[in-house]
């Protein structure tokens, strides 16, 4: 089992412990480490010798190295980069526009980045077994981005084509509809981009960390858990700022100074996204477990403790 996964097995089995770990791993300064420094940390982590900087070596490996392939993750798709890149995209995507084109542009950027992040941080264990990605997979990812982009601007399309002017109706389409829509699109993106995992299966491990085979049931469980965590991330990011703005509009200060609402909306979106990233990453273990009875028959005998482990991805 990969050293990253061994660490998650020993330290990341409770929500609070995962939160503590992710708060360290999401430090943006980790992005300044070069590939050479990351590879050196990886070498130290896998060697028998102990480094004087074990904690920093481990943090660098967990935040920058893919646990299945052992390869360094692309800079923009590492967990510490998620807030820095997605925050301005999310803020721009949730803004009310008068035309469709700017809404479409920002949705395209946001959905493209989300799809790229989901793909880069997937479980790639079946590919390590020789099952390579096909052109159909790339076309599916492109289709996912296109569909999510078009669906994301449906509220703006409805407002423009139906010529909606009523304040309550505009509030419904601009403040209420984006909440379930954002959660659903985030769920859909993970489900489709990583659908290969439940079609081909992912590697499962016994209690000693030894690989015992490929399981489609574990792949489906890993993808669904990640999709739920991402839906929680973007659903909350859409819901909390809208509720905050709604409450502000009811105060005298902001009724007299309505221009203050817009910057506070932007700040609250970025703030909620930043707070929700470690929470959503911690909802499910990185090294998950699947019960013996839910496994394929040929793998049940290997579940000596009643379950097997799998890498969930991110």
Do 150 and 94 contact (CB within 8 A), yes or no?
A: no
Q: How many domains does the chain have?
A: 1
d(CA 284, CA 288): 7
Residue carrying the six token digits 């669904």: 224
**Token couple for 200:** 């081909």
287-291: strand order across its sheet: 211-215, 202-205, 307-311, 287-291
- Which alpha helices (H) appear in 153-215, and where do they start and end? 154-161, 167-171, 178-193, 196-200
Query: What is the average pLDDT score of the chain?
Result: 88
pLDDT tens digits for range 235-266:
999 999 988 888 877 777 776 776 777 788 88
Given a contact cutoff of 8 angstroms between Cβ atoms, the answer to whether 81 and 120 are in contact is: no
Q: How far is CA 125 from CA 121, 168, 312, in A?
A: 12, 50, 11
Closest CA to 55 of 11, 116, 109: 11
* Nearest alpha-carbon partner for 307 in 288, 290, 285, 282: 290
Reported as type and span, the H/E element at residue 242 is helix 216-248
Higher-confidence residue: 135 or 50?
A: 135
34 has a pLDDT exceeding 70: yes
Q: What is the spatial distance between Cα 148 and Cα 194, in angstroms, rounded to a whole number?
A: 15
Question: Whole-angstrom Cα distance, residue 275 to residue 272?
Answer: 5
Residue 118's nearest CA partner among 38, 201, 196, 57 is 196
Geometric angle at alpha carbon 90, from 168 and 165, rounded to 5° = 20
pLDDT (average), residues 63-84: 93
Which of the residue ranges 48-57, 128-137, 265-274 has the most confident prediction, judged by mean pLDDT?
Answer: 265-274
Burial class (CB in 10 A: 0-12, 13-18, 19+), 215: buried
What is the domain extent for residue 162? 3-311
For the chain, give the percent of residues with pLDDT over 90. 54
Which residue from 11, 78, 81, 4 is spatially nearest to 41, judged by alpha carbons?
4
Q: What is the pLDDT of residue 122?
A: 93
Rounded mean pLDDT, 71-85 = 95
């Amino acid at each position: 089992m990969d050293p990253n996964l061994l660490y998650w097995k020993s330290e990341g089995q409770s929500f609070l412990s995962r939160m503590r770990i992710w708060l360290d791993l999401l430090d943006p300064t980790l992005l300044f480490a070069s590939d050479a420094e990351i590879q050196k940390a990886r070498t130290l982590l896998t060697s028998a010798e102990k480094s004087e900087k074990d904690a920093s070596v481990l943090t660098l490996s967990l935040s920058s190295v893919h646990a299945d392939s052992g390869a360094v993750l692309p800079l923009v798709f590492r967990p510490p980069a998620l807030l820095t890149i997605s925050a301005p995209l999310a803020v721009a995507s949730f803004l009310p526009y008068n035309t469709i084109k700017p809404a479409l542009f920002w949705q395209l950027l946001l959905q493209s980045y989300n799809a790229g992040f989901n793909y880069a941080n997937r479980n790639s264990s079946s590919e390590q077994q020789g099952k390579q990605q096909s052109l159909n997979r790339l076309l599916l990812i492109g289709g996912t981005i296109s569909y999510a982009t078009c669906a994301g601007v449906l509220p703006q399309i409805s407002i423009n084509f139906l010529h909606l002017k009523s304040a309550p109706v505009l509030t419904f389409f601009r403040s209420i509809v984006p909440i379930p829509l954002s959660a659903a699109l985030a769920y859909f993106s993970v489900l489709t981009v990583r659908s290969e995992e439940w079609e081909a299966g992912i590697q499962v491990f016994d209690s000693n960390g030894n690989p015992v085979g490929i399981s489609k049931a574990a792949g489906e469980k890993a993808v669904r858990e990640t999709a739920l965590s991402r839906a929680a991330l973007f659903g909350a990011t859409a819901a909390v700022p809208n509720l905050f703005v709604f409450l502000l509009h009811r105060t005298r200060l902001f009724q007299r100074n309505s221009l203050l609402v817009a910057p506070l909306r932007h700040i609250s979106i970025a703030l909620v996204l930043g707070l929700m990233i470690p929470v959503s990453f911690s909802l499910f273990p990185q090294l998950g477990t699947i019960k013996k009875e839910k496994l394929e028959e040929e793998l049940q005998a290997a579940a000596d403790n009643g379950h097997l482990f799998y890498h969930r991805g991110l």
